[in-house]
Amino acid sequence: MKVLNLAGTEDTPKVILDKDNELFEISGRSLPEDSAEFFAPILNWIDGYSEEALSSTKFLFKLEYFNTASSKLILDVLSKLEEIEGVTVVWYYHEDDEDMQEAGEEFEELVELEFEFETY
């Protein structure tokens, strides 16, 4: 399966989706001008991955900040992951960032996925 590797910018997160190396991560800041367009390849990749997923998948979110439009697309990502057996979401947040911790907790309530919370 082809690796999806998007370099992060000031407005878009770094994305690495690499089945062979078991690396699934979205990190950085997410406030793209067109969130739907930015997240489309991620959602498409997850669709393909779901057909031949590993028995367990740790999907890492290390977001420093995301805007409202990104929030909806992050929920779309989580909803797609929800359909895959054995997915655990690891939600990283800076130990002083209660907003990001609460955002992860709110997402956890919206989907039926196992969440782990980690500080850095």
pLDDT of residue 63: 98
By C-alpha distance, which of 94, 83, 92, 28 is closest to 57?
Answer: 83
- Full domain range(s) for residue 107: 4-119
Residue 64 burial (C-beta neighbours within 10 Å; 0-12, 13-18, 19+):
middle
Structure confidence at residue 119 (pLDDT)? 97
pTM higher than 0.95, yes or no?
Answer: yes
What CA–CA distance (Å, rounded) separates 92 from 60?
7
Residue whose C-alpha is closest to residue 30's, from 19, 42, 44: 42
Q: How many domains does the chain have?
A: 1
For position 53, what pLDDT does the model report?
A: 98
Which CATH number covers residue 96? 3.40.50
The whole-angstrom separation of Cα 73 and Cα 54 is: 23
**Quick check: 93 and 57 in contact, CB under 8 A?**
no
Listed as ranges, residues in the chain with pLDDT below 70 are none
SS3 content of the chain, % helix, strand, coil (to 5): 40, 30, 30
